[in-house]
Amino acid sequence: MRVLHSSSELRTALQGVSDVAFVPTMGNLHDGHISLVSQAKRLGGPVVTSIFINPLQFGPSEDFERYPRTLSADTERLEQAGCDFLFAPSVAEMYPYPQRFLVQPPLADELCGAFRPGHFAGVCTVVLKLFNMVAPRYALFGKKDYQQWFLLDSMTRELNLPIQVIGAETERAEDGLAISSRNGYLTATQRTEATFLFQQLREIRDALNRGERDFEKLEQGASHSLNRRGWRVDYFSVRAQATLLAPKPDDKKLVILGAAWLGNTRLIDNVEVTLLD
Ligand code: PAF
């Protein structure tokens, strides 16, 4: 695997290379990322993974400073996974100018965006820059970050980028907890408790499958259940998969999204559901 730190090195390395599959990450790689790399490899072309902890997508009181920086362990894991190129730029390389040109996606103030002002503008901006640097044919994102995947897919289509965005299913631990870099912040007790987020999402799904259609009642019920257990819920929300807006009566493909704090750690997860009636 070749490790590259500047966009000019990257451009030279990728000259004449086609059908690149790209896995953008912030490092601290876990099984979810490695599964994205494996899926990328199956697409047949070379695989580029980026590791860049993007300051633009962290709010002033968020975990940018304490976000784990594990480049040498990550490099080893990527090597073992058969990744071809690792692009690991510095902040100065990614943002050479003091003024930002920001991509402002729609829905940026909803769901997670309502609690993380500027987050999705930061994500879309860095990913658009990375897309321009890597020029991939495919880009893979985990659907655990459902709103992120949705907005990046929308951005790619809306801006007519010649890239196919692929949303990969969420990798889960045996007890159902979605694999995430932030799980590493949890204490042993919190780690056991953490599975209740997924459980609440499944309970909403099961109620929808039984015919319940009062979304607000379901969202509030899940919030109360977790808050009673000592969590601090940001939101539960039932949305249409096609638009990520509140479902219309004829929307059958829905997604239930949730975000909640366990101590100082914010966890997110989601469950898709197709209504049969
Ligand atoms: O999901 C992430 O790791 C990041 O938000 C991404 C897509 C790499 C952009 O910094």
Atom of ligand 1 nearest to the CA of 24: 8
Which runs of E-coded beta strand occur in 62-170? 85-87, 138-142, 164-168
Percentage above 70 pLDDT, the chain: 100
Centre of ligand 1 from the C-alpha of residue 210, in Å? 36
Whether 111 has a pLDDT exceeding 90, the answer reads yes
Centre of ligand 1 from the C-alpha of residue 52, in Å? 8
Whether 166 has a pLDDT exceeding 80, the answer reads yes
pLDDT tier for residue 99 given thresholds of 50, 70 and 90: confident
List pLDDT tens digits, range 170-224: 999 999 999 999 999 999 999 999 999 999 999 999 999 999 999 999 999 999 9
- CA 184 vs. chain centroid, Å, equals 16
Q: What is the model's pLDDT at position 277?
A: 76
Centre of ligand 1 from the C-alpha of residue 24, in Å? 6
Q: What is the model's pLDDT at position 90?
A: 98
d(Cα 215, Cα 73) in Å, to the nearest integer?
Answer: 43
Across the chain, what does the average pLDDT equal?
A: 97
Active-site amino acid positions:
33
Atom of ligand 1 nearest to the CA of 50: 8
123 lines ligand 1 (CB under 6 A): yes
Q: End-to-end alpha-carbon separation of the chain, Å?
A: 50
Average pLDDT of the segment spanning 6-24? 98
Taking each helix axis as running N to C, give the angle between helix 146-158 and helix 119-134, from 0 to 180 degrees, rounded to the nearest 10.
50
Q: What is the model's pLDDT at position 98?
A: 85
Q: Which helix H or strand E contains 122, and what residues bound it?
A: helix 119-134
Average pLDDT of the segment spanning 231-243? 98
Is the pTM for the entire model greater than 0.85?
yes
Atom of ligand 1 nearest to the CA of 181: 3
